[in-house]
Amino acid sequence: MRALAIDLGLKRTGLAWTDPTQRVALPLEVVPTHQLRARLEALAPEVAVFVLGYPRRLSGEPTDLTPHVEGLERWLRQRFPEKEVVRVDERFSTHEAARALQAIPKARRNKGAHDIASAVVILQAYLLRRRG
């Protein structure tokens, strides 16, 4: 079973997941946010843990996106009570993803590359934290 990271956005949502042994974070896809719940339903049979990027300002205050992530978290817990749902602080994931994308030529980047890269960073943070 895999861990699935979700970098929620208002228009697009980046997804990343682990290999079945939950050791390696892999980019998965970008989903239009209005289709996210249906996509999560389809992926759920392969997922043991949902890892949510939890947005906060550097000061620790919530962002405009925080209530949306909390709503998704509630839905995941109600819809999949047998699965673990974990929050990961994503304050620095955007910066780390942008840095990682600098290595990719602009011609190969697409609009969703940043969203997927952020999801991978969130998932890597979860895996590191879990390994302790």
Q: So where are the chain's domains? A: 2-131
The tens digit of pLDDT for each residue in 11-53 reads 999 999 999 999 999 999 999 999 999 999 999 999 999 999 9
pLDDT score of 106 = 54
One CATH from 3.10.20.740, 3.40.50.720, 3.30.420.140, 3.40.50.920 for 2-131? 3.30.420.140
pTM: 0.86
pLDDT score of 58 = 85
Instruction: Quote the percentage of the chain above a pLDDT of 90.
Output: 70
The tens digit of pLDDT for each residue in 61-92 reads 999 999 999 999 999 999 999 999 999 998 66
Please, which residues have CB within 8 angstroms of residue 2's CB and are 6 or more apart in sequence? Answer: 17, 18, 19, 20, 22, 46, 47, 48, 49
